[in-house]
Every structure is written in structure tokens, then in C-alpha cells.
Amino acid sequence: MGHENFKQMRKAMVVSQLRTTEVSDPRVIAAMSHIAREDFVPSAQRSFAYADRGVQIGEGRALNPPLTTGRLLNVAHVTKDDNVLLIGAATGYTAAVLSQLAGSVTAIEQNPKLAAMAVKNLADNDNITLETANHATGWDASAPYSVIVIDGLVEQIPQSLIDQLAPDGRIVAAVMHDGVSRLALGHTAGAHVGYQYFADCGACSLPGFEKAKSFEF
């Protein structure tokens, strides 16, 4: 599939997936229009790069659907004044989008193979620092962060990440809530975060945030 085809697919993604579903921030639309998502997926999956679903990238992982990423970034309101922590860098796509929006991005990926792919894919982005670390522990060395983006579906958001948010910080994620994948926006209030669920939207599971299993007798 040629380069021009991908440009058309990217334009179709913006028109049919983002603009029709409340992704209204022009900077988010511009960034997702600019970043070539096909460059962040395996060659066998390139034709599905802009499909309205997750894209398999190996290691049991998948990139979030474009709509999910777009809606999370839309409510995060990231600006060049923001120091952003991205959890679940995968192959680097969302980090590349955030690099267009934020002043600085610290991207965390706990899978070494995916992290190596992300380092290669993000070589030209000078405002991104990629670290290999457990997703749930974040990266305290560069805290506090004005924005935390968890790029995947999680069962819970740990206090370890909340502790890395700046006062008046915000956090976005897809959270499994009552058996449904729901997009959430959180704002800091002292040592805690208050969450608002604003959409039911499919997302790809992100390891590292599983709740402890209870035993039934």
C-alpha cells in the first residue's frame, strides 16, 4: 500500500472517527493528522493502522483505537506548558502525538521489546524521554506532571501514579467500571483525584493495573 493511500486513510480517520465523536480540540486533530500511525505498527498490520479498533503490535499488546486516543487527549487539554507522563508507550504512537502538543513527555513502557521499538520510532523527537519501567510505578524522577495519560484499559489507577501529579493536575485513562470500558478524566484534589466518566468507549488492555483477585469459599 502506497504512501498516498495512508494519507487518505489518515484523513478518513479524522473525518469519520474523530470529528464525529466530540474530538474538537484543533491541536489534537492536527497532531493526529500529522503523525503517520502506520509507522508504529508491524508491517503485516499496516493496512489496519487507521481502523476503528485496536491494532495488534505483538507481545500480547495492541494500540488503542484512534478514537479512544483522540477522546482522551481531547479532554486532557495538553499545551506546551505541560510536562506529561505517558503510561503504556507501546511502539511510540501516542508519545509522538503528545510530542506535538506538550512541552515535554516522559513515556513509560514495561515491555523491553516494545520499548526498543519505541526508541527507534521516536528517534527524531527531542522532547520525549522514554523509560523502561513498570507501568504502575510511573517515573518519579521527572515528577510532578501536570498531565498523566494512561494509554490503555486498566482495572484501577494506583496511588503511585496519583502521587506524581502536580497540584491542579489531570489524568486520563480508560477504566473498567462495572464491566464496561469507560473513559475517565480525573483532577487532583489534595492527595486524591476525583474522576468523571465521560464516555463508554472500547480500549485495549494495558498490563500492570490488575486488581487483586478475591477468593470465594
- Intervals of the chain under pLDDT 70: 1-4, 213-217
124 occurs within a structural domain: yes
State in Å, rounded, how far the first CA of the chain is from the last one: 56
85 occurs within a structural domain: yes
Rounded distance between C-alpha atoms, residue 145 and residue 143, angstroms: 5
211 occurs within a structural domain: no
170 occurs within a structural domain: yes
Query: pLDDT tens for residues 181-206?
Result: 999 999 998 778 999 999 999 999 99
Q: Domain limits at 81?
A: 3-200
Rounded distance between C-alpha atoms, residue 55 and residue 89, angstroms: 14
215 occurs within a structural domain: no
Note the pLDDT of residue 215: 52
The CATH number linked to 159 is: 3.40.50.150
Note the pLDDT of residue 212: 75
Tell me if residue 145 falls in helix, strand or coil.
strand
Q: If you search the block for the grid coordinates 494519507, which residue do you land on?
A: 7
28 occurs within a structural domain: yes
31 occurs within a structural domain: yes
Note the pLDDT of residue 1: 46
> Any residues with CB less than 8 A from the CB of 190 and at least 6 apart, and which?
none
CB 174 within 8 A of CB 182: yes
Note the pLDDT of residue 190: 77
213 occurs within a structural domain: no
Query: What total number of domains does the chain contain?
Result: 1
Q: Count CA within 13 A, CB hemisphere, residue 81.
A: 4
90 backbone φψ class: left, alpha, beta (φ>0; ψ -120 to 50): left
130 backbone φψ class: left, alpha, beta (φ>0; ψ -120 to 50): beta
Rounded distance between C-alpha atoms, residue 145 and residue 86, angstroms: 10
